[in-house]
Amino acid sequence: MIDKRKLQPITAAGTREAAMAIDPKTSGLKPLSISAAEDIFSGARRWELWGRLGWLEVKRRYRRTTLGPFWSSFTLLLLVIVMGSVGSGLLGRDSSEYLPFLVAGLVVWSMVSAIISESGSVFTNGAPLIRQMNFEYSVLAYGLVWRNFIAFLHNMVVYVAIMLIYMPHALTTWRLVLAVPGLALLMVNGVWIALVVGTLTARFRDVQQIVQSVLQVAMFVTPLFWSPDSLEGSRRIIFVGFNPLYHLLEIVRDPLLGRPSNLNSYVAVAIITVAGWALAFVVYGKFRKRIAYWL
């Protein structure tokens, strides 16, 4: 039996409410002895827990601010305006074409990169919870993906504003609906990334620094600021065809621009999803019970 009075104020969401959200008395969470598969599937069903954890983290980050989560949207807007002005000139593209392309990509990239970069700290930041009670650790991974989805919804304000100015017809096309399954696939992949990177980082803290360094380079070699049609031959195969971040980006960006979905990207994402979850079950299944001792 856990005495609630002993719960520390620093939790995965940075608040005492986060610890209360997974009180084993009321949540029915299972002990550490469960398998990784049981942890993952049972954790997915605890939507009220990871949903609350994610929401509490968003509130904590922007507590006592005027714009709240819209500060990230404001930063995104500045980035789109500045990079759009410079990029359209450097690439010789019209602003009415380039800015929608840029904002659609940056909205998705912000979510993808945030999930990957924050995955390294998903268990280390949740250490107070892990040390105090037995629960499905995957709840923390689902909470991470959920809170970044909330940030994505806030950033969509910038997307809508830019599209209304430069490409209003894209907001009325039926293809926009295809962004929903693409976004769902992105979030599904975000969970296994959080589990794998979070587990490895709990053991080897250098992993987080490696991931962040790779992300900084990947931002420029992924067709985010430039069109994938700009490359040909072997360069296109390497930086576009074999770039998993490009395919994760494309299955959401194309529908947001009113374009037909890229079938090749969907096939690539399907392969990434299967391979990624297979890796997650191996890594998380082997080391899950050790995570608490590594923190």
Burial of 217 (0-12, 13-18, 19+ CB in 10 A): exposed
For 77-89, give the DSSP string.
Answer: HHHHHHHHHHHHH
User: What's the confidence (pLDDT) of residue 252?
Assistant: 95
- Alpha carbons 261 and 267: distance in angstroms, whole number: 11
How confident is the model over 150-162, as pLDDT tens digits?
Answer: 999 999 999 999 9
Residue (of 97, 77, 83) closest to 169 by Cα position: 97
Q: For residue 3, what pLDDT is reported?
A: 45
Query: Sign of the C-alpha dihedral, residues 134, 190, 290, 213?
Result: negative
| Contact (CB, 8 A) for 205 and 128 | no
**pLDDT computed for residue 13 by the predictor:** 44
pLDDT band at 104 (very low <50, low <70, confident <90, very high): very high
Residues in the chain: 295
CA dihedral 273, 279, 280, 286 (to 10 degrees): 170
- pLDDT tens per residue, range 105-125: 999 999 999 999 999 999 999
Q: Is 116 exposed, middle or buried (0-12, 13-18, 19+ CB in 10 A)?
A: buried
CB neighbourhood size of 19 (10 A): 23
Residue with the bigger pLDDT between 13 and 80: it is 80
Give the pLDDT of residue 222: 94
The answer, yes or no, to whether residue 10 has pLDDT greater than 50, is no
Mean pLDDT of 66-76: 80
- pLDDT confidence band for 42 (50 / 70 / 90): very high
Q: How large is the average pLDDT for residues 85-106?
A: 86
9 versus 182: which is more confidently predicted? Answer: 182
Q: Does 21 have pLDDT greater than 60?
A: no
- Per-residue pLDDT tens over the stretch 165-207: 999 988 888 888 999 999 999 999 999 999 999 999 999 999 9
pTM, rounded to two decimals: 0.85
Structure tokens at 225: 């600021």
Q: Per-residue pLDDT for 101 more than 80? A: yes
Residue 53: pLDDT band by 50, 70, 90 thresholds?
Answer: confident
Taking 60 as the threshold, does the pLDDT of residue 22 lie above it? Answer: no
Phi, psi of 226 (to 5 degrees): -130, 155
Q: What is the mean pLDDT of residues 34-59?
A: 88
pLDDT at 215 over 60: yes
Q: Give the DSSP H or E segment for 43.
A: helix 36-45
d(CA 162, CA 76): 11
**pLDDT tens, position by position, 224-251:** 999 888 888 888 999 999 999 999 999 9
DSSP state of 239: I
pLDDT for 33 equals 61
Q: Provide, rounded to the nearest whole percent, the portion of the chain with pLDDT above 90.
A: 56
Please give the average per-residue pLDDT across 50-54, as a whole number: 89
